[in-house]
Amino acid sequence: NRERVLKVLPPKAARFLEPSLSMNTAQFAAAVACIFLVISSATVLAVTTLSTGAYLPIYLVCVHVMFLHVFTHVGQSILLGSYTPGVVTAVVVILPYSLYAYYRLLASGAVSWELLFSTLPFVLLIIPVLFSAHWLGERLVKQ
């Protein structure tokens, strides 16, 4: 879908995404594994320090990223007018998980609405994490 994706995107977005679209499957899988390690680490740290809430903001940023990423997959499918990899998992697994995580955190009092909204701007920190993960994926797996 590389050429099709580049054709439907605005030129600036196409230039921004082009390096990611040139990765092979193994490199992309390695990049996703890096992201998985970041999210898993944030989750473990948040759970093990729940009494102090020390790492809860980092976990919330990860939940925000996962929640918003659902709409990236759905948007890609709409933009291309076809199925895109990950859209089913995003809608069937990630969307319900993130909504339930928000519900449980708010219902238990572990998180306030103020903390929930104040951590939203930090979602932008995912950008250097993504670039680093893609860079690692390309370096770990040679074409």
Contact 77, 91 (CB under 8 A): no
DSSP letter for each residue of 14-83: HHHHHHHHT--HHHHHHHHHHHHHHHHHHHHHHHHTTTTTTTHHHHHHHHHHHHHHHHHHHHHHHHHTS-
d(CA 82, CA 142): 30
Query: What confidence score (pLDDT) does residue 19 get?
Result: 67
pTM summary value: 0.85
pLDDT of residue 51: 86
Residue 132: closest CA among 43, 38, 63, 16:
38
Our count of domains for the chain comes to 1
Instruction: For residue 66, give every residue at least 6 positions away whose Cβ sits within 8 Å of its Cβ, in sequence order, or none.
Output: 39, 94, 97, 98
So what's the pLDDT on residue 82? 85
Give the residue numbers spanning the domain of 132: 2-140
Residue whose tokens read 């977005």: 13
Tens digits of pLDDT across the chain (143 residues): 677 777 777 878 777 777 667 788 899 899 999 999 999 999 999 999 988 989 999 999 999 999 999 999 999 899 888 888 889 999 999 999 999 999 999 999 999 999 999 999 999 999 899 889 988 998 989 86
